[in-house]
Structure 1
């Protein structure tokens, strides 16, 4: 039975897309060192990112934009990105293991939500690594466009550095306007 793992990265940041990945691993070609992406160093994630793409039976990466996050809310946008990632697989799995406690709606195969699944199932670990590396790379690109915000360092998360940059430079188009700190920053600008 073809089983896909799916996970997302980027629910907490104040800026950018939420990224999801879906992976079907090859049981005959195992990948050493898979784990929850947050428990791995950036260097290890980058190495595994390449190995997953080389060895997996199928993988796909999808996202929901900052505008979709503002329109739907972060939970629904995350589930939408996960659904898009599974649907983008060139081989459709019979079963999907989803990290978390919610299942994306609209998938035609059986799904199972697993809290902490990115540390328990290799397929979800692989998906978490693809999603995290992709999202972090997006933040490095955004940092090149807006170096004053420090996105390469904090990856868009609500850090002191990020809040200081918003206070000094305002809000950019990619900021999630539905998030309270961004709403507050926009309210101050519009006073």
Structure 2
């Protein structure tokens, strides 16, 4: 395998994006990618605009052709401890810090920059559809998280994680009511918290 050639100006710009801020269960996954200008990848776009098949096709191309990539998994426990925003920001900083070679600038999808970035950064609203490096990061994050949720479906059967990936679909909410939360559910998210509060109320309440 050949060693990638760094850009002539030595400027290494990373795209950063996440997947999984909205679900009730599972981790949020963050990816950072430095693309190689000498090895362009056709068809990069916001992962939400791509079919699952197209994302799975692009994933190995990004891994193979990028100068650097790093995927970080932030578990439900940390999400509950920090809150989803802070946990995502922490994951973004870790993803950029994990790049080898190191990034000289980070382009972050959204309107906020995480604290503790190891390099200067720019927040770009809608960046996953505008900047190829952010598009690549969004694909790595989405595919990685989807694969994790499929694996978690085997560990915690009955919730349908492989289908809805932890998002609050009617089927997921019904399973949550029927089975109660598992360790992958985010206790700080309202539908899960309400169920836990109700369970505590019935357990601790007076006998009638």
Cα deviations by residue, 1:20-56 (Å, 9 ceiling, x for unpaired):
0000000111000000000000010011011000000
Task: State the Cα distance separating 1:79 from its structure 2 match.
Answer: 0.6
Return 5+ residue gaps in structure 1 as ranges: none
Task: State the Cα distance separating 1:183 from its structure 2 match.
Answer: 0.4
Q: For residue 19 of structure 2, what is the aligned residue in structure 1? A: 9
**Match for 2:108 among 98, 108, 112?**
98
Q: For residue 49 of structure 1, what is the aligned residue in structure 2? A: 59
The 1-side partners of 2:166 and 2:22 are apart by: 8
The 2-side partners of 1:110 and 1:87 are apart by: 12
Q: For residue 7 of structure 2, what is the aligned residue in structure 1? A: none
Answer yes or no: is 1:153 the counterpart of 2:163.
yes
Q: For residue 64 of structure 1, what is the aligned residue in structure 2? A: 74
Task: State the Cα distance separating 1:147 from its structure 2 match.
Answer: 2.3
Q: For residue 29 of structure 2, what is the aligned residue in structure 1? A: 19
Task: State the Cα distance separating 1:185 from its structure 2 match.
Answer: 1.1
Task: State the Cα distance separating 1:69 from its structure 2 match.
Answer: 0.6
The 1-side partners of 2:144 and 2:32 are apart by: 13
Return 5+ residue gaps in structure 2 as ranges: 1-10, 203-208
**Match for 2:197 among 182, 187, 190?**
187
2:106 alignment partner, SS class: strand
Q: For residue 6 of structure 2, what is the aligned residue in structure 1? A: none
1:148 alignment partner, SS class: coil
Give the conservation status (yes or no) of the 8 Å contact 2:29–2:141.
yes
Q: CA RMSD in A?
A: 0.7
The count of aligned residue pairs is 191
**Match for 1:75 among 68, 85, 92?**
85
Moved over 3 A (4+): none
Task: State the Cα distance separating 1:7 from its structure 2 match.
Answer: 0.3
1:13 alignment partner, SS class: coil
**Match for 2:140 among 126, 130, 135?**
130
Q: For residue 89 of structure 1, what is the aligned residue in structure 2? A: 99
TM-score, with normalisation over the residues of structure 1? 0.98
Who wins on radius of gyration, i.e. which is larger? 2
Give the conservation status (yes or no) of the 8 Å contact 1:103–1:111.
yes
